[in-house]
Amino acid sequence: MKYIVRFVRFWYDFIVGDDWTIALGVVVAVCSTAIVHHLGLPAWPVLPLVVVVGLFLSVDRVRRSHRVPVDMGSGSKRSDG
């Protein structure tokens, strides 16, 4: 059982990661692109727009919950993603 839990957790962490709203936003954006295409409208702007807005909102949510700036440097060592 624990192996199944680990397996599911691995794929959840791998695909969804820290912020599940990004994954949900991408799925909604891809579906919206397909719908807009089927309506006969230019569908290519949908995905870039949703991705940019979603990325900004996700980072801004961290900024708003962030109280103490930890480091203003730009280099770092490797770690996951």
- Cβ 27 to another protein shortest distance, Å: 7
Asked if 6 interacts with another protein (CB under 8 A), we say no
Should residue 15 be labelled a site residue for another protein when binding is judged by CB under 8 A?
yes
What ranges in 16-45 are assigned the alpha helix state H? 20-38
Query: How far apart, in Å, are the Cα atoms of 32 and each of 21, 29, 47, 62?
Result: 16, 5, 8, 26
Neighbours of 54 (CB within 10 A): 19
70 binds another protein (CB under 8 A): yes
Q: Does residue number 2 form part of the binding site for another protein (CB under 8 A)?
A: no
Does 10 interact with another protein (rule: CB under 8 A)?
A: yes
